[in-house]
């Protein structure tokens, strides 16, 4: 790996010494890029080359949390260092860091900077391309700093006509990004950020609903290019599983995972969305899938993972090695105690699959009563559908959600079955399953035309039924609630749920919902992960949202957001012991820790203190986030977005 490490910077007397800096650690289960690790030996060579202890010690490892030396850790939380402060690294230090990284450090600029004349990037051609593609996730995932919901970076630099301001500032986008492709680079970045008390962000795709992969003045570790994959026809896992498995780099995205699984004659559990990162926040947060009613959550599939901890050390986590870390990183959320570099997951049968897509508006029915009865008939069938191993992803609203015209008072109700997914079922079997609901629609004189799509493997059915979704808008606020089976077994609670849905739409909110089981009919639910326990009883996940306009004031956003949070009390009361899915939820969720993590929270919090005592990893709503506040510069309360300094919470 001479190309990466053999850099010569004579001015800094870093003469060639780094050519052997990274050590190849052998181990058959590691990807080549995972064998390139930072070690104490490498650090001594760096120290000799730099001839400056102040600088070379910036790359030292932290203490081992299991050793007695832990008492020496400086566990006091301080405000993260920001540019302009004495302790902020000088350009010379950033340059050395870049050299050691093999020149993968990027000085980040907002993606839409090309639209603003006072930025060096100003370029009207480039700006037009960015604006044209703004709602396409490809644009944001290929950028080291951009996130898909710019509300959470402060909507400080958007292309016209989506802009809220007339100028462009860095906002909550990080200052630097390390475009990593090896374990050694991640270790360097983790050590550097921890030793210098910098704000650290891990960005994979930037899909997170609460903008967790952003942060003002931060250094970002960008995992997007950790793209390795390997198939093991007969993998023996430490938990007793013996069978086919696939190891994915954590930068692998859903579409890549599905394609690779198909190429080796299998399926894997992944999200419905094309570009969500399979190995990052998605699996860490639980991960729901069109295959979940059959096989459970994405985190249930994980057999082992490779992780760089906050102290900079690289470890393997499995049911026998570092089992507490293994437990935490399957359901405890992204950006908690380490950077995941890869995970090994179960490879499932290829499964013939049928999908069904259709929609109807109130105009396709005799009137609003028939429209709502048609929706109610769906809820009446949730249990049957889930118990058959199927999944449904639907929208209910008034007028068009995408164009931001979903206002209270509109009675242009619509229902859209984005996709009803029936794994292991033929079209005929799927029609039989749907008959009770479709007969009810016929009896109500609802006119609709289902599109049946079938393939002999999951990937080919999915790829037709799930087009890429819109991202990039700062005009939406969501909240989530999981509703357990018991709600649908009670006529009264099911009716209350239905009435609540109707009320939400009449008030101008929209629903993006799922019939889904977090357990899976084909498997025993695992009991040894940090997944929110409410997922195991849930048969529906409801995402509720409100919308506003691109030019809406922060006051409008605040009141609209609070309305979503408050409205959700209706569903919280229907299912008080349930919870919310952290990856598609509400930043303002009341009793957030309980709602997102349930009874696992005390253990998660204790592990956070053990493995990340200085609070290196932070993300809005993540484990331990309540000890911090983002001192937002926007006219919002602290921690409503990432556009502010990160400091310990003031009492």
Ligand X SMILES: *[C@@H]1O[C@H](CO)[C@@H](O)[C@H](O)[C@H]1NC(C)=O
Ligand Y SMILES: Cc1cc2nc3c(=O)[nH]c(=O)nc-3n(C[C@H](O)[C@H](O)[C@H](O)COP(=O)(O)OP(=O)(O)OC[C@H]3O[C@@H](n4cnc5c(N)ncnc54)[C@H](O)[C@@H]3O)c2cc1C
Q: Please give the residue ranges that form the binding site for ligand Y (CB under 6 A).
A: 148, 202-209, 212-213, 223, 250, 271-273, 276-277, 280-282, 284-285, 287-288, 334-335, 339-340, 469, 471, 583-584, 619
Q: Rule CB under 6 A: say whether 522 interacts with ligand X.
A: yes
Smallest separation, CB 112 to ligand X (Å): 10
Residue 395 interaction partner, one of ligand X, ligand Y, none, beta carbon < 5-8 Å per kind: none
Q: Among all residues, whose Cβ is closest to ligand Y?
A: 334
What span, in angstroms and rounded, lies between the C-alpha atoms of 415 and 411? 12
Q: Rule CB under 6 A: say whether 424 interacts with ligand X.
A: yes
What span, in angstroms and rounded, lies between the C-alpha atoms of 99 and 222? 17
Could you tell me if 56 and 593 are in contact, meaning their C-beta atoms sit under 8 angstroms apart? no
Q: State which of residues 10, 72, 76, 125 lies at the interface with ligand X (CB under 6 A).
A: 125
Could you tell me if 343 and 283 are in contact, meaning their C-beta atoms sit under 8 angstroms apart? yes
Residue 71 interaction partner, one of ligand Y, ligand X, none, beta carbon < 5-8 Å per kind: none
Q: Rule CB under 6 A: say whether 506 interacts with ligand X.
A: no
Residue 8: how many other CB atoms lie within 10 Å: 14
Please give the C-alpha separations between residue 425 and each of 265, 289, 356, in angstroms, as whole numbers.
Answer: 18, 17, 12
Residue 591 interaction partner, one of ligand Y, ligand X, none, beta carbon < 5-8 Å per kind: none
Smallest separation, CB 608 to ligand Y (Å): 13
Toward ligand X, which CB reaches closer, 56 or 283? 56
What span, in angstroms and rounded, lies between the C-alpha atoms of 28 and 313? 19
What span, in angstroms and rounded, lies between the C-alpha atoms of 291 and 300? 12
What span, in angstroms and rounded, lies between the C-alpha atoms of 578 and 432? 32
Strand partners of residue 317:
305
Q: Is 175 helix (H, G, I), strand (E, B) or coil?
A: coil
Residue 569: how many other CB atoms lie within 10 Å: 10
Query: 228-247: buried (b, 16+ CB within 10 Å) or exposed (e) per residue?
Result: bbebbeebebeeeeeebbbb
Q: Rule CB under 6 A: say whether 13 interacts with ligand X.
A: no
Toward ligand X, which CB reaches closer, 331 or 423? 423
Smallest separation, CB 467 to ligand X (Å): 10
Q: Rule CB under 6 A: say whether 160 interacts with ligand X.
A: yes
Toward ligand X, which CB reaches closer, 263 or 556? 556
Toward ligand Y, which CB reaches closer, 99 or 639? 639
Judged by CB under 6 A, the stretch of 203-211, 251-259, 545-553, 641-649 that binds ligand X is 545-553
Smallest separation, CB 134 to ligand X (Å): 13
Q: State which of residues 29, 123, 195, 239 lies at the interface with ligand X (CB under 6 A).
A: 123
Q: State which of residues 37, 179, 318, 519 lies at the interface with ligand X (CB under 6 A).
A: 179
**Burial environment of residue 466 by CB neighbours within 10 A (0 to 12, 13 to 18, 19 or more):** buried
Q: Rule CB under 6 A: say whether 556 interacts with ligand X.
A: yes
Q: State which of residues 411, 489, 490, 551 lies at the interface with ligand X (CB under 6 A).
A: 551
What span, in angstroms and rounded, lies between the C-alpha atoms of 298 and 293? 11
Determine the size of the site formed for ligand X (CB under 6 A). Answer: 37
Smallest separation, CB 184 to ligand Y (Å): 16
First to last CA, the chain: 49
Return the DSSP state at 524: P
What span, in angstroms and rounded, lies between the C-alpha atoms of 373 and 651? 50
Q: State which of residues 10, 76, 403, 449 lies at the interface with ligand X (CB under 6 A).
A: 449
Residue 423: how many other CB atoms lie within 10 Å: 27
Q: Is 309 helix (H, G, I), strand (E, B) or coil?
A: strand
Smallest separation, CB 347 to ligand X (Å): 13
Residue 163 interaction partner, one of ligand X, ligand Y, none, beta carbon < 5-8 Å per kind: ligand X
Residue 555: how many other CB atoms lie within 10 Å: 10
Toward ligand X, which CB reaches closer, 8 or 106? 106
Which of positions 228-287 make contact with ligand X (CB under 6 A)? Answer: none
Q: Would you state the structure tokens that stand for residue 336, as one six-digit string? A: 């908690």
Query: What is the longest distance spanned by two Cα atoms in the chain?
Result: 83
Residue 92 interaction partner, one of ligand Y, ligand X, none, beta carbon < 5-8 Å per kind: ligand X
Q: State which of residues 416, 485, 558, 610 lies at the interface with ligand X (CB under 6 A).
A: 416
Please identify which residue in the block is written with the tokens 């800094």.
Answer: 12
Smallest separation, CB 214 to ligand Y (Å): 8
Residue 355 interaction partner, one of ligand X, ligand Y, none, beta carbon < 5-8 Å per kind: none
DSSP secondary structure string for all residues of 224-258 = TT---EEEEEEEE-TTS-EEEEEEEETT-BHHHHH
Binding site for ligand X (CB under 6 A): 52, 54-55, 90, 92-93, 106, 123, 125-126, 129, 144, 160, 163-166, 179, 181, 225, 349, 359, 366, 407, 416, 424, 444-445, 449, 495, 499, 522, 548-549, 551-552, 556
């Amino acid at each position: 790996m001479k190309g990466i490490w053999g850099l010569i910077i004579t001015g800094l007397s870093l003469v060639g010494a780094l050519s052997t800096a990274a050590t190849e650690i052998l181990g058959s289960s590691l990807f080549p890029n995972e064998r390139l690790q930072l070690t104490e030996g490498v650090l001594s060579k760096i120290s000799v080359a730099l001839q400056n202890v102040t600088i070379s010690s910036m790359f030292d490892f932290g203490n081992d949390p299991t050793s007695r030396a832990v008492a020496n850790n400086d566990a006091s939380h301080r405000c993260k260092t920001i540019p302009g402060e004495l302790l902020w690294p000088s350009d010379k230090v950033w340059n050395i860091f870049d050299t050691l990284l093999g020149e993968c450090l990027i000085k980040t600029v907002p993606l839409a900077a090309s639209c603003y004349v006072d930025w060096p990037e100003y370029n009207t051609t480039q700006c037009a391309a960015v604006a044209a593609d703004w709602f396409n996730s490809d644009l944001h995932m290929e950028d080291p700093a951009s996130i898909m919901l710019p509300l959470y970076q402060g909507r400080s630099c958007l292309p016209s006509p989506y802009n809220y301001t007339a100028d462009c500032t860095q906002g909550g986008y990080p200052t630097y990004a390390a475009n990593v492709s090896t374990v050694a680079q991640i270790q360097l970045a983790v050590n550097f950020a921890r030793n210098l008390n910098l704000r650290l962000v891990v960005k994979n795709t930037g899909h997170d609903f609460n903008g967790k992969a952003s942060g003002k003045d931060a250094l970002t570790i960008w995992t997007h290019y950790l793209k390795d994959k390997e198939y093991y026809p007969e993998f023996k896992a430490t938990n007793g599983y013996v069978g086919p498995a696939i190891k994915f780099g954590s930068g692998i995205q859903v579409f890549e995972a599905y394609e690779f699984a198909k190429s080796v004659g299998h399926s894997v559990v992944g999200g419905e969305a094309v570009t969500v990162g399979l190995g990052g926040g998605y699996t860490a947060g639980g991960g729901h899938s069109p295959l979940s009613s059959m096989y459970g959550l994405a985190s249930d599939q994980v057999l082992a993972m490779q992780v760089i901890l906050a102290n900079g050390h690289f470890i393997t986590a499995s049911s026998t090695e570092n089992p507490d870390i293994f437990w935490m990183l399957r359901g405890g959320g992204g950006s908690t105690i380490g950077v995941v570099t890869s995970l090994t997951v179960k490879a499932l049968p290829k499964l013939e699959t049928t999908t069904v897509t259709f929609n109807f508006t109130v105009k396709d029915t005799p009137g609003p009563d028939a429209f709502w009865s048609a929706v109610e008939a769906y809820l009446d069938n949730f249990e049957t559908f889930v118990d058959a191993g199927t999944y449904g992803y639907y929208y209910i609203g008034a007028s068009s959600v995408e164009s931001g015209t979903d206002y209270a008072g509109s009675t242009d109700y619509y229902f859209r079955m984005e996709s009803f997914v029936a794994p292991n079922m033929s079209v005929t079997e799927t029609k039989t399953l749907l008959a009770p609901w479709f007969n009810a629609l016929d009896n109500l004189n609802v006119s609709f035309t289902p599109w049946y799509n079938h393939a002999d493997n999951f990937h080919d059915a999915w790829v037709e039924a799930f087009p890429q979704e819109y991202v990039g808008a700062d005009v939406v606020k969501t909240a989530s609630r999981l509703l357990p089976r018991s709600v649908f077994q009670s006529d009264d609670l099911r009716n209350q749920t239905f009435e609540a849905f109707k009320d939400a739409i009449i008030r101008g909110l929209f629903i993006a919902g799922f019939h889904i089981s977090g357990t899976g009919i084909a498997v025993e639910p695992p009991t040894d992960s940090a997944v929110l326990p409410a997922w195991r009883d849930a048969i529906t996940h409801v995402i509720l949202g409100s919308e506003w306009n691109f030019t809406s004031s922060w006051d409008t956003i605040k009141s609209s957001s609070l309305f979503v949070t408050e409205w959700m009390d209706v569903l919280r009361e229907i299912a008080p012991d349930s919870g919310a899915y952290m990856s598609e939820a509400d930043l303002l969720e009341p009793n957030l820790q309980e709602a997102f993590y349930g009874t696992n929270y005390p253990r998660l919090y204790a592990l956070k203190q053990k493995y990340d005592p200085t609070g290196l990893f932070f993300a809005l709503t993540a484990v331990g986030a309540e000890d911090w506040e983002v001192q937002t510069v926007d006219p919002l309360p602290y921690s409503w977005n990432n556009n502010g300094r990160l400091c310990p919470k003031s009492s």
